[in-house]
Chains A and B, each alone.
Chain A
Amino acid sequence: MFGLDKKDTKFLLIVIFLTLATPILLQPFPQGSGLAQFNAGYPDLMQRFAIFGIFAIGFNILFGLTGYLSFGHAAFLGVGSYSTVWMFKLLSMNVLPGLILGIIMSGLFALLIGFISLRRSGIYFSILTLAFAQMSFNLAYSVLTPITNGETGLQVYASDPQYLMNENSLTTTHLFGLVMNKSAKLLVGDWEFTFNIGYYFCAVIAILAFYLSLRIFRSPFGMMLRAVKTNQNRLMYTGINTRPYTLAAFVISGMYAGLAGGLLASMDPLAGAERMQWTASGEIVLMTILGGAGTLMGPILGAGFIKYFENIFSKINDNVLHGWFSWMPDGLEDIIVWLIHPFVGKGWHLTLGMLFMLVVVFLPGGLVEGGSRIKNWIKRDKKPETNDDEHHPKHVAHVAEKEEF
């Protein structure tokens, strides 16, 4: 089906199911229970899961396949956002023109940066992209203020021209009348599920983006990119010019980032320069490595993981902790809260950093490797004579020829 073999079709169907059922899966605890704090099924966060999933899928096409580590991908995210908001300001609040312009602009931008940066590889490439991204950030922050509105962020005002709008037009972002921030709530017992149009819009695009990346991974073009990663010198000795391939991968991945940026602006019509800062570029690298670079599903998992920490763990304050441990004797309660305090709330970075360290040390293939290890372990329990991981370590992480998710 869809030009995929049986295994991949199954894989795709699983992804589609997981994506569409997200509002239910992320809401495992009933409202009002103490654990409701950990529910993540609200529109803003679900949208972020889908959008940063797209961003990570695109980044993985470059980093996972060719091994070129770009430290400036946030610049394309920013370009996509700014383009989209400008379309809102000039035309109407329909998201389609904005998304298209966002993809085109970030593609052009990636072509320019890629053309220069790809003359070098390894650490020099990373530093060049980092420099370009920082440059874009500083431009957006100060020099280009007439275009980007500087530190305040680009917003849509009622006084903007919006040539395609009349009095009856919608003033919130929409797709031909489907308003992005509309939600339907479903109450099942104590569980409340929120189905948001904006989320489903992002989810459908994320599925398409995933499908496209699946096809790229399986294509001869994808094979060539993997060859670049494995041994670029050997490729060049055989007379193949690798530059067009890497540049194409760079532009494609830049366009993915532009799409993600455009979607961010479509869900919330504001573009801030912080989106382009180097920390944002670093975050996408973390997502990919945490999930498993080079695997299809890994970056999406990594993106979800980091966004969950950023939004859920950062909101656990001392008040909430005291609520949880109020059943303990007073002194003990204070000690426990004092012990946990540095790791939640504003300390969420600490927890994330430790997890990242553990993953890199013990699961170099990321969360995906963890998943496949568990799978192997279960299988081995049934058939104890199968492969010995100790002496024949599985070839992991960077090549996705196997079905790993």
Chain B
Amino acid sequence: MSVFTTNRRGLIKSGAVLGTGLAMPTIFTASSAAAYTNAPTGSGVTLGFNVPQSGAYADEGADELRAYKLAVEHLNGEGDGGMMNTFSSKTLQGNGILGNKVNYVSGDTQTKSDAARASAKSMIEKDGAVMITGGSSSGVAVAVQGLCQEAGVIFMAGLTHSNDTTGKDKKANGFRHFFNGYMSAAALAPVLAEMYGTDRKAYHLTADYTWGWTQQESIAAATEAKGWETVNNVLTPLATQDFSSYVAPVLNSGADILVLNHYGGNMVNSLTAAVQFGLREKQVNGKNFEIVVPLYSRLMARGAGENVKGIFGSTNWHWSLTDAGSQAFVKSFGEKYGFPPSQAAHTVYCQTLLYADAAERAGTFNPCGIAEALEGFDFDGLGNGPTHYRADDHQCFKDVLVVKGKENPTSEFDLLEVVQVTPRAQVEYAPDHPMFAGGDLGKCNPGA
């Protein structure tokens, strides 16, 4: 009779040999045979919603997530269908996408590039997401877009307004429905020239990152073309809370306009500081001192309260629009959540429908097929009038709203009034415009 004894060492040794033996041969074999990353295998398809749930843009993130959930409901045939009924493309039937029920996973970007990429990576690698969407900061959008290009999935950008997203940093797998700094400036400058005259001197305070830089560059160029003079541009760190030291020098600079290239909490704080310094009551060069905020959102207007009254800016979409698409969206969002959606909610809802529709028209979830379906796509009924997804840089072109802080708001949501709907032709630019040059779209990457 033989005795079979094991000691710990022997067990570990053989375990190690076994483990490595199991692992080694498989490392070097080719990966799976699917034609593209995360091809759906069962009856469901997974989308990844990567939004800020903490940090400066958490409000926008929460509203985006609400809109995503609504879009998933509508795609799966629940609820009233929202903008699916007004969308000019009629491929979506409420039976999911290509017959696959839509599932989703969500993650927190923390408004940090690193965290956003880690979150997106785990969605792609662990949860098998075939498309990533979201984001409320251009820095994050650019970082995640780069990741999706490498991983071979489609990225549908959320709220990102920097020229770079579809300019210097554009990627073949990335698409943006939201407008950008150049469009804001092109829409806003004529209105400003008309309201405030053509001989103004502007002082810029600019958030010190990709969005701030391109926004400032755009608005300065557009207003200078109308005869304005740019007196100074001061960069402020994104984490700044107290702007009084930046606002104080404005009065002695000889400027009679203050342009705040700030967003979110930054804008709320800098505008409040400027108003507290009494800038709006001042007379400089014989004219009333004025403040301009190029990119507006309702959530920001609520944060700044009384201070936004009469201040001009631009926005991608506003819930008070009366076209059928906007009405349908506001109705189904309002019924579900009890208040109207923000522009961030609107753009991500559109992006989700656009992706689903592109998959239906392409007949596949393959990123290359979807990219082909989206490139040069003309559509209507999503709240912005006739819209065009340009093939050269994957940027949407549509009308831009110039808005003004309402003097007599009737509710806490009714803070902005639309001054002008700037037609699409006025905000269009060539794909090789200097402000967008230097990037390369590359080729679509299906991964795998």
Contact = CB atoms under 8 A, between A and B. Distances in A.
A268 B12 CA distance: 34
Contacts of B15: 17, 21
B143 A150 contact: no
Interface in B92-112: 105-108, 112
B121 A268 contact: yes
B16 A270 contact: no
B258 interface: no
Given A20-B20, A346-B54, A42 B125 contact: yes
B395 interface: no
Interface in A23-65: 23-24, 39, 42-45, 48
A197 B139 contact: no
A274 B113 contact: yes
B23 A23 contact: yes
Interface residues of A, number: 48
Given A20-B23, A268-B117, A185 B54 contact: no
Interface string B8-45: 01001101100110110011111110000000000000
A24 B15 CA distance: 13
Contacts, number: 131
B278 interface: no
Contacts of B29: 184
Interface in B420-447: 438-440, 442
Nearest to B112: A274
A159 interface: yes
B113 A270 contact: yes
Contacts of B440: 157-159
Interface in A148-176: 150-153, 155, 157-159, 172
Nearest to B105: A315
A105 B20 CA distance: 34
A159 B438 contact: yes
Contacts of A43: 125
Contacts of A230: none
B235 interface: yes
A172 B23 contact: no
A18 to B, nearest CB: 9
A45 B19 contact: no
Interface in A318-375: 345-346
Contacts of A184: 26-31
B237 A195 contact: no
A311 interface: yes
B374 interface: no
A141 interface: yes
A270 B146 contact: yes
A398 interface: no
Interface in A288-312: 311
A21 B12 CA distance: 12
B143 A155 contact: yes
B270 interface: no
A200 interface: yes
B118 A311 contact: yes
Contacts of A380: none
A151 B108 contact: no
A315 B237 CA distance: 31
B57 to A, nearest CB: 13
A10 interface: yes
A181 B438 CA distance: 27
Contacts of B114: 153, 270, 272, 274-275
A153 B210 CA distance: 10
Interface residues of B, number: 52
Contacts of A44: 118, 121-122, 125-126
A16 B16 contact: yes
Contacts of A14: 12
B247 to A, nearest CB: 19
A314 interface: yes
Nearest to A47: B121
Contacts of B150: 172, 181
B53 interface: yes
A157 B143 CA distance: 12
B112 A272 contact: yes
B19 A152 contact: no
Contacts of A151: 113, 139, 208-210, 238
Contacts of B146: 155, 270
B399 interface: no
A208 interface: no
Interface string A254-282: 00000000000000101010110000000
A195 B29 CA distance: 10
Contacts of B13: 13
B26 A13 contact: no
Contact of B16 (A13, A197, A275): A13
A317 interface: yes
B300 interface: no
A268 B30 CA distance: 20
A42 B442 contact: no
B367 to A, nearest CB: 16
A152 B113 contact: yes
Given A43-B125, A311-B118, A152 B27 contact: no
Interface string A183-223: 11110000000110100100000000000000000000000
A142 interface: yes
A182 interface: yes
B48 to A, nearest CB: 11
A315 B123 CA distance: 10
B142 interface: yes
A378 B106 CA distance: 43
B139 A152 contact: yes
Nearest to A36: B126
Contacts of B164: 152
Given A151-B209, A152-B139, A155-B143, A195 B117 contact: no
A183 B31 contact: yes
A199 to B, nearest CB: 9
Contacts of A182: 30-31
Contact of B122 (A186, A272, A315): A315
Contacts of B84: none
Contacts of B30: 182, 184
A26 to B, nearest CB: 11
A185 B439 CA distance: 35
Contacts of B71: none
B115 A274 contact: yes
B125 A152 contact: no
Contacts of A315: 105-107, 122
Contacts of A39: 126
Contacts of B143: 152-153, 155, 270, 272
B209 A150 contact: yes
13 contacts: A13-B16, A24-B22, A24-B23, A44-B118, A141-B208, A152-B209, A153-B142, A157-B440, A158-B442, A183-B31, A184-B31, A200-B27, A314-B108
Interface of B: 9, 12-13, 15-16, 19-20, 22-23, 26-32, 53-54, 105-108, 112-115, 117-118, 121-122, 125-126, 138-139, 142-143, 146-147, 150-151, 164, 169, 208-210, 235, 237-238, 438-440, 442
Closest 8 CB pairs of A and B: A151-B209, A272-B113, A21-B19, A17-B16, A44-B121, A42-B126, A42-B125, A153-B113
Interface of A: 10, 13-14, 16-17, 20-21, 23-24, 39, 42-45, 48, 138, 141-142, 150-153, 155, 157-159, 172, 181-186, 194-195, 197, 200, 268, 270, 272, 274-275, 311, 314-315, 317, 345-346
Given A141-B208, A150-B208, A152-B138, 10 more contacts: A20-B23, A150-B210, A151-B238, A157-B169, A159-B438, A200-B27, A268-B147, A311-B122, A345-B53, A346-B54
